[in-house]
Amino acid sequence: MTKTILLVFGTRPEAIKMFPVIHALKADPRFRVVTCVSAQHRGMLDQVLEIAGIVPEHDLDLMRPDQTLDGLTAALLTGLGGVMDAEKPDWVVVQGDTATAMAGALAAYYRKVAVAHVEAGLRSHNIYHPWPEEVNRKIIGTIAALHFAPTTTSAEALIAENVPAAAIHVTGNTVIDALQWVSARTAADPALASGLAEIEARFAGKRIIGVTSHRRENFGGGLEAIAEAIRQIAAREDVALIFPVHPNPNVRKVMDAALAGLPNVAMIEPLDYPHFARLLSLCEIMLTDSGGVQEEAPALGKPVLVMRETTERPEGIAAGTAKLVGTQTARIVTEIFTLLDDKAAYSAMARAQSFRGWPCCPSYRGALRACRVN
Ligand code: UD1
Ligand code: UDP
The question of whether 129 is a catalytic residue gets the answer: no
Ligand at shortest distance from the CA of 63: 1
Among all bound ligands, the one having the nearest atom to the CA of 17 is 2
Can 246 be counted among the known catalytic residues? yes
Q: How far away, in angstroms, is 286 Cα from ligand 1 center?
A: 21
- The active-site residue, picked from 216, 231, 331, 365, is 216
| Annotated catalytic residue within 133, 177, 295, 335 | 133
Report the residue among 14, 41, 49, 212 best suited for mutation to probe ligand 2: largest number of ligand atoms under 8 A from its CB. Answer: 212
262: closest CA among 243, 288, 286, 285?
Answer: 243
- Ligand 1 centroid – CA 339 distance (Å): 31
Global pTM reads 0.95
pLDDT in tens, the chain (374 residues): 899 999 999 999 999 999 999 999 999 999 999 999 999 999 999 999 999 999 999 999 999 999 999 999 999 999 999 999 999 999 999 999 999 999 999 999 999 999 999 999 999 999 999 999 999 999 999 999 999 999 999 999 999 999 999 999 999 999 999 999 999 999 999 999 999 999 999 999 999 999 999 999 999 899 999 999 999 999 999 999 999 999 999 999 999 999 999 999 999 999 999 999 999 999 999 999 999 999 999 889 999 999 999 999 998 898 899 999 999 999 999 999 999 999 999 999 997 564 533 444 334 333 433 333 22
41 is catalytic: no
Largest CA distance in the chain: 64
Whether residue 365 lies in the annotated active site: no
Residue 112: C-alpha distances to residues 90, 106, 234, 329 (Å): 10, 10, 53, 48
The question of whether 216 is a catalytic residue gets the answer yes
Q: Which atom of ligand 2 is nearest to the CA of 48?
A: 7
Our answer on whether the CB atom of 48 is closer than 6 Å to any ligand 1 atom is no
Residues of the chain with CATH 3.40.50.2000: 3-172+359-370, 195-351
Q: Is 271 in the pocket of ligand 2 (CB under 6 A)?
A: yes
CA of residue 59 to ligand 2 center, whole Å: 21
Give the model's pLDDT for residue 354.
46
| Mutation to probe ligand 2, out of 51, 290, 294, 304 (largest number of atoms < 8 A from CB) | 290
Closest Cα to atom 17, ligand 2: which residue? 13
Per the CB < 8 A criterion, the answer to whether 22 and 33 are in contact is yes
Rg (CA), the chain: 20
133 catalytic residue (yes or no):
yes
**Domain 195-351: CATH class, spelled out:** alpha beta
The verdict on domain 3-172+359-370 having CATH code 2.30.130.60 is no
